[in-house]
Amino acid sequence: MRKQLLAGESVDLRSAPKNVVHVALDGADDHKLRLKACLTKAPTADGCVLIVADSTKPAEQRRFASQTPGAVTAESVDMRDLVEFASGFDLDDASALERIVRFASFVMTNVGPDDLLARVASLKSGKARKEPSETEAAALQFVSAPSYDRASALLAAISKDAGVRTHRPPVLRGCHKMLQLSGVQDGPTPYDAAVQVREQSRLIGRPLAKRTVGSTLLLKGLEADVSVILNPELMDAQHLYVAMTRGARLLVVCSDTATING
């Protein structure tokens, strides 16, 4: 198949080797079928799975990661979302709590930012009958005396809530590090601290998770036991070649036809 892709020829999955699995999309439950493909197990206990999603829609990549148990997103080395959050984060701003909570919902699943903010408002007004949870208490502490340490503590508390899972761990870790750097005496601004974190992450590189969702650009150079391609119809021959050569032992292709055109 590699030679065919490089030559720009079509690939018929029906005549592909046994380690190539075709998930036939039916136009009705395509998202469910793709999610099921994302759960493909590696052939070994310590094996890894790379899930190649639509490169033009980062939000879709994050959606599949958030809906696939154990999956995380492959993050760009520019850490754009962290830098953007840091550039607008100001402890003296009345919206600081909301910015933290909404950032949490951007990197974790099942956060419910609107519900949390409503509960904090109710607790502050004294109208709430129910005692605050650990997360709500952390939010109240931040509101009463905003600090970078308390912002970090709130993010940590949210991550421990029942049902919450971090699907963008590099961004969350980067945020904790950014807040730690800004929290020291005469420390850098959140923006400058985020830039430092970004440069450090570039030097460290990207560790391969058990199940990673990304684009061909983000996953290029990485290899795992399994590669799952969610949208081959959106790829040209070069991107298809990259996607199909990420899996060393198993390739899973989701498409509405058995013929893949490069």
Contact of 93 with 140, CB cutoff 8 Å: no
Token pair belonging to 3: 């030679």
Handedness of CA 98, 171, 238, 3 (dihedral sign): negative
Is the same domain home to 91 and 187?
Answer: yes
Is the same domain home to 160 and 105?
Answer: yes
Is the same domain home to 22 and 99?
Answer: no
Is the same domain home to 87 and 180?
Answer: yes
DSSP per residue, 11-67 = EEGGGS-TTEEEEE--SSSHHHHHHHHHTPPPSSTT--EEEE--TT-HHHHHHHHHH
Q: Structural domain tally of the chain?
A: 2
HSE at residue 10, side-chain half, CA atoms within 13 A, is 10
Is the same domain home to 227 and 195?
Answer: no
Q: What's the pTM value of the predicted model, to 2 decimals? A: 0.83
How far apart are the C-alpha atoms of 161 and 97, rounded to whole Å? Answer: 17
Higher per-residue pLDDT: 144 or 240: 144
**Helix axes 148-159 and 96-107, enclosed angle (nearest 10):** 40
| Beta-ladder partners of 51 | 213, 228
pLDDT tens per residue, range 36-77: 999 999 999 889 999 999 988 999 999 999 999 999 999 888
Task: Provide the domain limits for residue 105.
Answer: 80-204
Max intra-chain CA distance, the chain: 70
pLDDT tens per residue, range 107-163: 999 999 999 999 999 999 998 889 999 999 999 999 999 999 999 999 999 999 999
Token pair belonging to 132: 């605050």
